[in-house]
């Protein structure tokens, strides 16, 4: 019964991950909150279980990575025989921009990973960052800026690097990797569809690097049960991500990001109320 229950929990976590990873509403923040009220119990030992959770909440994102690879394989493949030399050159240029933008989060994430897990992975931090970024999204949309870059090819390397620094802000739970990236890209003059698509591409090195780091640092053994729980979460996240990515791109071509700003503010306030009522802990997570 315990095995089935934890697998069912992982399915729910996979659905939440697949939805929230691509929307600017913080996947890690939602996973932290979900684990607070419905903790995964893969190991009896609390420390081993916490070690597994710190790995799980990151590596489950690998399923989301595969969704991007599936949907954008041709666009990201510079060796495709269906592409002209000019198209291949443009693809290599895209990868250069992805790499440049990934350097800041790679360095900062490696240096601050333990601090984030120990000090910032709490409902109160998630709530504050949800509200702050929600307000920022609404303010930026109200400014009604005209984009300088309508597609990734028009964007220069310097702008890509600056977007990378915005992405590194997502190390704080509740900010959202896609949210930080989209917010930064919008401030730097990128159109909504372009900012959204570039955030998808930046997820590849960011999630892959973070997953490898967490697997290396995990102190709990990767038992068959633990592997099944992780695999189920990743598989569900993959299926849901494919649906969400396609739907989100269609939505953002006709709408702005204000609705996500309002959602963030509402959820952040709700979490603060639950903390005040002692229905959620202000700090510390369920192991």
Asked if 207 contacts 237 with a C-beta cutoff of 8 angstroms, the reply is: no
pLDDT, residue 284, reads 54
Phi-psi region of 273 (alpha: psi -120 to 50; beta: other; left: phi over 0): alpha
List, for the chain, all residue ranges whose pLDDT scores fall below the cut of 50.
Answer: 285-287
- pLDDT score, position 287: 36
Question: What pLDDT sits at residue 286?
Answer: 40
How far is it, in rounded angstroms, from Cα 137 to Cα 230?
33
Note the pLDDT of residue 20.
94
Residue 113: the pLDDT is 74
The whole-number pLDDT of residue 264 equals: 96
Measured CA distances, 182 to 20, 75, 133, 212, 286 (Å) = 14, 20, 11, 25, 31
What does DSSP assign to residue 45?
S
Residue ranges in the chain assigned as alpha helix (H): 2-20, 27-37, 46-59, 61-76, 85-115, 123-143, 157-168, 177-187, 192-217, 224-252, 258-276
Give the separation between CA 104 and CA 91, rounded to whole angstroms.
22
SS3 145: coil
Distance CA 233, CA 171 (A): 21
Return the ∠ at Cα 126 (arms to 128 and 178), rounded to 5°.
105
For residue 175, the 8-state DSSP code is S
The reported pLDDT for the residue numbered 285 is 47
**Residues listed for the chain:** 287
CB-hemisphere CA count at 13 Å for 153?
7
């Amino acid at each position: 019964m315990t095995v089935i229950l934890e697998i069912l929990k992982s399915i729910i976590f996979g659905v939440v991950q697949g939805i929230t990873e691509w929307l600017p509403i913080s996947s890690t923040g939602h996973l932290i909150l979900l684990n607070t009220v419905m903790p995964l119990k893969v190991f009896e030992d609390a420390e081993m279980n916490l070690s597994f959770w710190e790995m799980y909440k990151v590596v489950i994102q690998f399923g989301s990575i595969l969704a991007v690879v599936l949907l954008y394989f041709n666009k990201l493949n510079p060796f495709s025989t269906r592409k002209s030399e000019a198209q291949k050159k443009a693809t290599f240029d895209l990868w250069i921009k992805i790499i440049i933008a990934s350097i800041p989060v790679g360095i900062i994430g490696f240096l601050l990973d333990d601090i984030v897990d120990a000090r910032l992975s709490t409902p109160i931090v998630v709530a504050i960052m949800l509200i702050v970024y929600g307000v920022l999204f609404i303010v930026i949309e109200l400014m009604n800026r005209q984009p300088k870059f309508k597609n990734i090819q028009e964007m220069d390397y310097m702008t890509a690097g600056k977007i990378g620094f915005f992405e590194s802000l997502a190390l704080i739970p509740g900010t959202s990797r896609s949210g930080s990236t989209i917010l930064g890209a919008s401030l730097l003059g990128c159109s909504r569809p372009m900012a959204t698509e570039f955030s998808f591409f930046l997820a590849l090195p960011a999630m892959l690097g973070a997953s490898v780091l967490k697997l290396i640092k995990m102190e709990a053994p990767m038992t068959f049960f633990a592997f099944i729980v992780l695999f189920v979460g990743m598989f569900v996240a993959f299926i849901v991500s494919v649906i969400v990515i396609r739907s989100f791109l269609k939505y953002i071509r006709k709408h702005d990001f204000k609705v996500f700003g309002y959602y963030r503010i509402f959820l952040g306030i709700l979490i603060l109320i639950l903390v005040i009522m002692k229905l959620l802990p202000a700090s510390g997570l369920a192991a």
